[in-house]
Amino acid sequence: MTEVAKRKTGKILAIVGICAAIAVGGIGVATVPGLLAGSSQNAGSAASPTPTVEAKPVELGITPLDGAVEWNPVVGPQIKAVNGKVKDVVLTPVGGGAPVQGKTSPDGSTWTTLEVLKFKTQYSYSFTVVDTAGKETKKNQTFTTVSAAYEADASIYPRNGSTAGSGQPIEINFSEPVLDKAAMEKRVAITVSSGQPVAWHWYSDKKVRIRPEAFWASGSTVTVDMKLLGVDFGNKMIGNGNVVSTFTTGPQRVAVVDDTTKTMNVYSDGQLVHTAPVSLGGEDWLSPTGYAVILEQERKSNFNAGSIGLKPGDKGYYPPMVVDYANRLTWSGVYVHQALEAAWGAIGRVNVSHGCVGLLPDDAAWFFNNMKTGDVVQILNTGAPAVEPLEGFGDWNIPWASYAQR
């Protein structure tokens, strides 16, 4: 092969090499050396040939690669050229929309995004690479961010802006299983104005509750700040947003119900504010002991024996009825409420309910109007087990020493 043919062949290979390296889109792929601008292309002339200077190989790193799917939109795309520069970078949603803002490094070698991308979106990526010889190569490619099937989120209770009773634990429900619980706990910042430390108790991979050792101090402000955007829950599930909830707590209101005396004593910030006679669950329907938290309140509530597994003909069955001043303590149907008129004579004397705490009308109205959701009811001496944590918010029945165990 002649000297002219060799040099021409070398130039052609350099161009092909650059294109091949860019097409691969990986880091560390080198091009075949090319010619610097101005190099002689006519080595066969009579004049002395101008020495050729070879262009340095361009190593190009592109993230994400062409055709990538389920790309985390928080991980910003980047183009980096070693021994070269990038320019004219345009990153745009394929379905339409403004280009994504980005910046180029002072030396022109690197372009990175300045915005968080959208979920469930295909993007088009176009750019130009310039090698040390000034040769420009254009490239277009696409990738798609995390689809709906791989999005994850979470909800917090109490709701943002609400006021809760001093016995209300924080509950977080995740839409997808959390595989690394310790790492997730570090992602969530919890601030308490009273300075009370808190512990986490995981009931499943998707449900966790958080509480202090004792009830929240009266008038506390609690903020739960979850930085979940772009967080990998595990199994490729990616958090699609941050969640914040700030709530305040009311006075420490606790109603202590003692089956031995058939009496309820209500305390507010440690001071006795109300006393009332009660009737609890009969021998076949013992009221649970321990701590319970008021879940919801209804001025009038529809009670149905079928909700506790009774049908007509069963012992203890009762027809559907409307109950006044209903304060739910468990999801299975234990309430503090106004007793039916037929049971008023039993109040303070004997137990006749299906596990509920029955009150006379005036006391029931007082309780309903002065106690709020998140306030605490403690039941003593019935002989029944304590309220299960997931029967409501029976978290206070778990000893503090073991509450934080996963």
CA distance 220 to 166: 9
CA distance 122 to 143: 6
Question: Which pLDDT value is given to residue 48?
Answer: 52
Pick the CATH number of 151-250 from 1.10.760.10, 2.60.40.3710, 1.10.10.10, 2.40.50.140: 2.60.40.3710
Question: Which pLDDT value is given to residue 143?
Answer: 97
Q: Which of 34-38, 54-58, 119-123: highest mean pLDDT? A: 119-123
Report whether 386 contacts 366 (CB < 8 A). no
Helix, strand, coil proportions of the chain in percent (round to 5)?
Answer: 15, 40, 45
pLDDT of residue 312 exceeding 70, the answer is yes
Question: Which pLDDT value is given to residue 53?
Answer: 54
Least confident of 36-40, 63-67, 152-156, 281-285: 36-40
Pairing state between β 188-192 and 221-226: antiparallel
Q: What is the pTM of this model?
A: 0.81
Q: What is the identity of the amino acid at 316?
A: G
Mean pLDDT calculated for residue range 64-92: 96
Which SS3 state, helix, strand or coil, does residue 240 take? coil
Residue 348: left (phi > 0), alpha (psi -120 to 50), or beta?
left
Strands (E), 25-165: 59-63, 68-71, 78-82, 84-93, 102-104, 110-113, 122-131, 136-145, 151-152, 154-157, 163-164
pLDDT of residue 83 exceeding 60, the answer is yes
Q: What is the identity of the amino acid at 112?
A: T
pLDDT of residue 5 exceeding 70, the answer is no
Residues 6+ apart with CB under 8 A from 88: 126, 127, 128, 138
pLDDT of residue 241 exceeding 50, the answer is yes
Residue 56 banded pLDDT, cuts 50, 70, 90: confident
pLDDT, tens digit (0-9, with 9 covering 90-100), for 324-353: 999 999 998 899 999 999 999 999 999 998
Least confident of 43-47, 112-116, 229-233, 279-283: 43-47
Report whether 295 contacts 392 (CB < 8 A). yes
Task: Give kind and range of the element (H or E) at residue 331.
Answer: none
Question: Which pLDDT value is given to residue 217?
Answer: 98
Top pLDDT among 30 and 43 is at: 43
| Residue range(s) of every CATH 2.60.40.3780 domain in the chain | 3-146
Task: Give kind and range of the element (H or E) at residue 258.
Answer: strand 253-258
Question: Which pLDDT value is given to residue 36?
Answer: 34
**Mean per-residue pLDDT over the chain, rounded:** 87
Which SS3 state, helix, strand or coil, does residue 370 take? helix
Question: Which pLDDT value is given to residue 277?
Answer: 98
Question: Which pLDDT value is given to residue 109?
Answer: 96
Top pLDDT among 366 and 134 is at: 366
Question: Which pLDDT value is given to residue 174?
Answer: 98
| Residue range(s) of every CATH 2.60.40.3710 domain in the chain | 151-250
What are residue 320's phi and psi, to 5 degrees? Answer: -50, 140
Report whether 87 contacts 103 (CB < 8 A). no
Domain 3-146 part of CATH 3.40.50.300: no
pLDDT of residue 46 exceeding 90, the answer is no
Report whether 271 contacts 253 (CB < 8 A). no
Question: Which pLDDT value is given to residue 141?
Answer: 95
Report whether 117 contacts 73 (CB < 8 A). yes
Q: Cα-atom radius of gyration of the chain, to the nearest Å?
A: 35
Residue 316 banded pLDDT, cuts 50, 70, 90: low
Question: Which pLDDT value is given to residue 320?
Answer: 72
Residue 405 banded pLDDT, cuts 50, 70, 90: confident
- Superfamily of domain 253-402, CATH level 4: L,D-transpeptidase catalytic domain-like (2.40.440.10)
CA distance 292 to 391: 9
Residues 6+ apart with CB under 8 A from 328: 294, 295, 296, 297, 298, 334, 335, 392
| Residue range(s) of every CATH 2.40.440.10 domain in the chain | 253-402
pLDDT of residue 37 exceeding 80, the answer is no
Question: Which pLDDT value is given to residue 164?
Answer: 97
pLDDT, tens digit (0-9, with 9 covering 90-100), for 351-392: 998 899 999 999 999 999 999 999 999 999 999 999 999 999
